[in-house]
Amino acid sequence: MNATIRLFLLPVIVALAGLLQAGCSMGGQEPTRAPAQFRQLPANHREHFAYYPSAEVHDSILMLRKVAPAQVTANEEFEYTIEVVNPTDKALLKNVVVRDYVSPGVRIVSSTPTWSYIDATKEEGEWIPDYDKAGPDIDDVPVTPPRMETQVRQPNAPRLSQLPEIRWFIEELYPQKIVTIKVRARASAGTEIRNCATADYEIAACVVSSVVAPELALQTFLEKEFIICATDQTDIRFVVSNSGTAEVRNVVVRAPLPEGITTVDGKREVVVNVGNVGAKQSKEVTQRLRVLRAGSYTIRARAVAAGEMAADSAAVSITAVQGAIAVAVTGPAEDYVGLPLEYQIVVNNTGNARVRDVVLEARAPAGLEFVDATSGGSVQGDRVIWRFDQLPAGQSQAVAVRFRGREPGVVRVVGTARGVCVGDVSEIVTTRLEGVPALLVEVVDKQDPNRVGEEEVYEIQVTNQGTAAETNIIVQAAIEEAQEFLSATGATPTAAVPGARTVTFQPLPTLAPKETAVWRVVVRCLQPGDIRFAVEVSSDQHGRPVRETEATSIYAKNNNRQ
């Protein structure tokens, strides 16, 4: 059976006891009382408004609009809406409670958002949750949506009647926002629905305060490879950043150092007072470090600031490497005076880092004279010097030099290598120099040609052209038949008597290099002819004698010459 349903919306103005729990000021100005823009009224529907607290639209702080069908069919579901509006520009409404009183014969099927039910026949404040159901979100979406809750607080407003009621609780209703409550119900036959809704609320005076937050971040930078040197140091760099909206105060960066690395003043921890870092700003600080020995090291840094803020940087690693050199010198153990002597110098980088400004030198003692050198070696005093920009790790450089010994004996050639941060290394090679025996025998006659009956003097010169002393030098002269031995003098005597065919001088014990010994033999020319005066010289150093002859022409006297 169809029934005509009349919908009345009875506004009840709720006098609030006070404004509770003020939150944030919206500037202190009076809110603008402009009617909110409601949805268009559907066809065959009726609407009614209620304005709080004065029942005047332009003075209102809270507005209710109830929309329902002009008539409904018995036992069939129908829908009506309650629109809750904050028409102000700046006023924030809190703890808004909307009540809808249910007429007899009407059963609430559902609502969006969720609702709570109170039976007026029960004691006040007792909840009957039989109809509590979860519904979808509010159909309009404000910038900051109000949070709807099923919990209902005990209202302060007087009851409209002893009818059961359903309630909705809106914790915050922002300016110019509308919350639409949709209710589905079913009415029994012969029922006339007199459905009324009321509301109460709290209004808050609010002050807007910006909430800012600092954001601390730390980055650490360190060169990945470091060459250890007594005079070199490396830098560790920290960048403290604040990406937040407030200043970070009293920033301190700490970085414990692993064993093998210290600050320049010998400390095992880097501590840097950075100070304050403004919003959206960064600060960079640098500290000097000394690496004591080769190895791989990892450093982790932390920045702390006021307000128990802290930030860790990613770990950074450094590999400390060091060059090291070794030198080897090779040369002849024995050789002869006057011959070129070649020495080779090799420098090796035995470390794991390049060595810069490498210098090689070969120092020769007195008695050796420079001949030549490879790789651009140049003579500087008693040294031969080579220079190279660098020597990579694991590589070597070889040079060679030649000297000539001037006298027998032992010579020591010193090869030295040096470079930046590796010091000097040296090696010595010893060479024994021996002389080379070399006899020069010269025989000259003082008068040539000679007449029969005249005397001839032969001079024998023995010279040591070598580099070693000659010992036990024996000179022997052979006299031909055309001549007669008369006498002999010289460096050593002879036992030969006049008329001897062979003249042998006593041994000369020693003849030093470059020295000359002289012997003279006097003969008489007996008959004309082409004469050969023959000399043999022997010594301990020569297995075979040195032979030399001098030709002399003897001619007969001319007796007819006046």
pLDDT score at 119: 63
- Are residues 513 and 395 part of one domain? no
DSSP state of 164: -
pLDDT score at 336: 87
Task: List, in order, residues 6 or more apart from 265 with CB less than 8 Å away.
Answer: none
CATH code of the domain covering residue 285 = 2.60.40.10
Assigned domain for 265 exists: yes
Q: Pick from 300, 321, 342: which residue ends a domain?
A: 321
- Are residues 197 and 61 part of one domain? yes
The closest of 218, 241, 222 to 288, measured between CA atoms, is 222
Q: State the first-to-last Cα distance of the chain, in angstroms, to the nearest integer.
A: 203
pLDDT-flagged residues of the chain (< 70) = 1-37, 118-162, 191, 204-208, 230-231, 558-562
Q: Pick from 305, 321, 337: which residue ends a domain?
A: 321
pLDDT score at 137: 38
Assigned domain for 38 exists: no
CATH code of the domain covering residue 130 = 2.60.40.1170
d(CA 20, CA 192): 39
pLDDT score at 115: 79
What is the domain count for the chain? Answer: 4
Assigned domain for 31 exists: no
Q: Pick from 286, 321, 356: which residue ends a domain?
A: 321
pLDDT score at 533: 94
Assigned domain for 210 exists: no
pLDDT in tens, 115-153: 777 665 544 444 333 333 333 333 343 333 333 333 333
Assigned domain for 4 exists: no
Q: Which domain range does residue 174 map to?
A: 45-204
- Are residues 188 and 55 part of one domain? yes
- Are residues 273 and 137 part of one domain? no
Assigned domain for 14 exists: no
Three-class secondary structure of residue 384 per DSSP = strand
- Are residues 313 and 331 part of one domain? no
- Are residues 192 and 96 part of one domain? yes
- Are residues 398 and 423 part of one domain? yes
Helix, strand and coil in the chain, % to nearest 5: 0, 55, 45
Q: Where are the beta strands (DSSP E) in 244-392?
A: 248-256, 261-263, 269-277, 281-291, 295-299, 302-305, 309-312, 316-321, 325-330, 334-336, 340-349, 355-363, 368-373, 378-380, 383-391
- Are residues 398 and 358 part of one domain? yes
- Are residues 230 and 287 part of one domain? yes
Assigned domain for 2 exists: no
pLDDT score at 2: 35
pLDDT in tens, 19-69: 222 232 333 333 444 455 677 889 998 888 888 887 788 788 889 999 999
Assigned domain for 28 exists: no
The single-letter code of the amino acid at 198 is T
Task: List, in order, residues 6 or more apart from 390 with CB less than 8 Å away.
Answer: 354, 355, 356, 357, 358
- Are residues 363 and 464 part of one domain? no
- Are residues 192 and 49 part of one domain? yes
- Are residues 120 and 64 part of one domain? yes
